[in-house]
Amino acid sequence: MHLLNHDLAHEFPEYLDKLTQLKASDAHFSTLAEHYDAHNHTITQCEQGKESMADDELEVLKKKRLDIKDEIYQILKSEQD
């Protein structure tokens, strides 16, 4: 099975510079990105069979990742030059 890459660079390629800038200058944004990356890593490990998690737990984690991604996108949009 081919899995999609959901890291922030692939999710928001048009905002790569802004992602880097905000991670370095905005503590809240940096924390959001860290949480997103941690959730994404866990989800990827489960989908690749390297870790196990109940399906309902995995779905909850995916929803949390999506909520964080939505908040990150809102910040990126509002920070456009």
Per-residue pLDDT reduced to its tens digit, 1-59: 456 788 999 999 999 999 999 999 999 999 999 999 999 999 999 999 999 999 999 99
Flag whether 2 is in a domain: no
**Confidence label for 81 from pLDDT (cuts 50, 70 and 90):** low
The pLDDT score that the predictor gives to residue 3 is: 60
Is there a domain that residue 72 lies in? yes
- Kindly state the average pLDDT of the residues 60-77: 97
Whether residue 17 is contained in a domain is answered as yes
Q: What pLDDT is stored for residue 1 in this prediction?
A: 47
- Whether residue 31 is contained in a domain is answered as yes
pTM recorded for the entire structure? 0.89
SS in 3 state form for the chain?
A: CCCCCCCHHHHCHHHHHHHHHHHHHCHHHHHHHHHHHHHHHHHHHHHCCCCCCCHHHHHHHHHHHHHHHHHHHHHHHHCCC
Structural domain boundaries enclosing 66: 8-78
Domain count, the chain: 1
Q: Is residue 1 part of a domain?
A: no
